Each structure stands twice: as structure tokens, then as C-alpha cells.
Amino acid sequence: MVVNPIIENMIARRSIRKYKSDPIPSELLETVLESGRFAPSGSNTQKSHFIVFRAGEKLEKLKKLTAEGLAAMNADDYAGFPARNRAILRLQEGYFDFIYNAPCLIVIANEITYPNNMADSALASGNMMLAAHSLGLGSCYINLVHWAADVPAVREFLLECGMKDTESVYASVALGYSDMPLPKPPARTGNVVTFAE
């Protein structure tokens, strides 16, 4: 395998699940956001919409509404979707900070009727997470706001925060300075490669 600084950054990046409360300097946050804006999009449509929540009342309200919305769901409906099932059960047992005390959450919205909404949002989040790691920041892909995006209270609040009524949430990225050792990469036993030659 050929290795260069970009490949090394991809291999070294890990999901961070414990953050310091230190704010992210504006220049670094701007760089992360621009990296997301330069992600590929279907036919270069550039339909992703980045809604940035920094530490404060609005971020706390989004976390609270998301947690309440998910806790009201029936976990059994998601028995075949273990991550969502576990999150609902945990929230039913009591609130947990699902962005791990990160001082920033970037919510990625996209047009509901746009066929590439999920793919474009995932590409943007991947760019932002790689950029964050290269800048000494930690990040983690967060699904819970996407899972709760159709809960009326969550949707209404997101609309108040700038999401368009033609959009929904397809990804989120927690961002901040890591407060944990960088985990070692797990062995690659999945993500199988097949050459069809």
C-alpha cells in the first residue's frame, strides 16, 4: 500500500466519544466547514446545508428535544437496527449526552426530494471529520438527530434554527478537542474487497 500524509490521516482518524469543553477557534471551525462544502455532490448540485450549533442554549435544547423524541419511540420497532435500538433503550433509561460533551455539533440538512441527499451528506461529513483530525480536533458521526428529524418538536426547532421547510437532517458531526487517548484502529475484518475480473 502506498502511504502519504493524506492516507496516513485517513488511517489515523478515530471517532472521539469524550470531549473537552474548550471552544473551537473560529479559523479551525471555518476550515472544517469549508472542507465539507468542497465534498463531492451528485452532479455538483451542492445541496447540503450546514447548521452549526456551538455550546449554549440552542445546542442544549436540540440535544434535549432529540433525546425526548427518541425516548418516546418503541425500541422494538428497531430490533433489526441495533444502534438505533440501543440508543432508544439508553434514552428510555435516562438521558445521556449523545454528542459526548462536544462543544460543537454540525447538523447536515439536505433537500428531502433530492435523490442524493444521504450520499452527499455522508461525503460532506467524511470530509469534515478528516479535516478535523488533520487540525488536531476530534470528531464523531452522530445519527441521533437524523433519527429524530421527523419528531415534530425537533423539526420545528430545526426550522427555527435555519433549516428550510424543504429539508431534513441526514447527518451530524460532533466536533471538539479530544479528552481521551486516540484509540488504536480495530482490525479490518469487514469491508471485504472483491475483484470482479
Residue 80 lies in a domain: yes
Q: In the chain, how many domains are there? A: 1
- Band (pLDDT 50/70/90 cuts) for residue 141 is very high
Is residue 187 within 8 Å of 118, Cβ to Cβ?
Answer: no
CB atoms within 10 A of CB 81: 13
Question: What does the pLDDT look like over 5-49, one tens digit per residue?
Answer: 999 999 999 999 999 999 999 999 999 999 999 999 999 999 999
Q: What is the pLDDT of residue 76?
A: 96
Average pLDDT in the chain: 97
Task: Record the cell numbers describing residue 55, joined without a space.
Answer: 455550546
The residue-averaged pLDDT of 60-78 equals 97
In a domain, 7, yes or no: no
Residue 126's SS3 state is: helix
C-alpha cell at 89: 433503550
Confidence category of residue 80, pLDDT binned at 50, 70, 90: very high
- The C-alpha angle with vertex 183 and arms to 178 and 186, in degrees rounded to 5, equals 145
192, part of any domain = no
- Three cell numbers, residue 18: 469524550
Kindly report the pTM of this predicted structure.
Answer: 0.96
Q: In this structure, is residue 39 part of a structural domain? A: yes
Residue 149 binned pLDDT confidence (cut-offs 50, 70, 90): very high
What's the rounded Cα separation, in Å, for the pair 39 and 121? 9
Rounded CA separation 85/78 (Å): 5
- Cell matching residue 164: 428550510
57-71 helix and 82-93 helix, angle to the nearest 10 degrees: 100
CATH of the domain at 121: 3.40.109.10
Report yes or no on 15 lying in a domain: no
The predicted pLDDT at position 95 comes to: 83
- Let me know if residue 111 belongs to a domain: yes
Find the domain containing 105 and state its range. Answer: 27-176
> Taking residues 62-88, what's their average pLDDT?
96
Rounded Cα distance between 172 and 101, Å, is: 14
Please report whether residue 1 resides in a domain. no
Work out the angle at residue 86's Cα, subtended by the Cα atoms of residues 112 and 19, and round it to the nearest 5 degrees: 80
Q: Do the domain assignments include residue 45?
A: yes
